[in-house]
Amino acid sequence: MAETEEPTGPPDTLIDPIEMSKLDHKFREEIHSMPNGEELSACFACSTCTAACPIANIWNYKPHQLIRMILLGMRDEVLSSNEIWLCLTCFQCQERCPQKVRVTDIFFDCKNLAAEEGKVPPTIVGLGKELLEKGQLYTVTADWEREDLNLEPEVPGLSVDPVKDILKETRTGRLVGGGK
């Protein structure tokens, strides 16, 4: 079996110089003032969060780097990054942080801020539309295993109206164009 190619070389953040004039020093306070940001300043860049993260090896910006970028005020880079959306929300980083930084929850806050500014990757918007229209993210297909399990050959349809009604009241509904 072919081995998966791993990215080589240092991450972008270690190559590109930081432009001081583009830093937004209020960003740190913005995150810090949110319910999850209380311990943000306690981060001492130990990288334990990155060591715990199951997918950090494919991220340009590792979890500890994203936290450092927030502390530095790199608002545009953080809110425009794919990484905050690729996070699996497995909480491994947050569980292991010796400084009790709420890493996963801070990434949630970043996603909310990015969404308010319309910086949501098209694939995420597409998933939201699927949820709004079909009440589920992925279509369950008929499968030979259903017969083995004495289930009906076709997957019963969902009643999506309650899901639509709920989503229309949420920011997700508004984001994908189905809300009030």
Select the residue interacting with ligand SF4 from 12, 26, 46, 57 (CB under 6 A): 46
Q: Which residue in the block uniquely carries the two structure tokens 């110089």?
A: 17
The token pair at 97 is 């942080």
One-letter amino acid of 170: T
Tokens of 55: 């997918």
Q: Which stretch binds ligand SF4 (CB under 6 A): 6-14, 23-31, 97-105, 116-124?
A: 97-105
Q: Select from 27, 31, 34, 49 the one that contacts ligand SF4 (CB under 6 A).
A: 49
Distance (Å, whole) CA 53 – CA 95:
11
Shortest CB 74 distance to ligand SF4, Å: 15
Rule CB under 6 A: is residue 85 a binding residue for ligand SF4? no
- Whole-angstrom Cα distance, residue 108 to residue 87? 9
- Could you list the beta-strand ranges (E) of the chain: none
- Does residue 78 belong to the site contacting ligand SF4 (CB under 6 A)? no
Chain residues in the site for ligand SF4 (CB under 6 A): 43-49, 52-53, 55-56, 63-64, 67, 87-93, 97-99, 101, 103-104
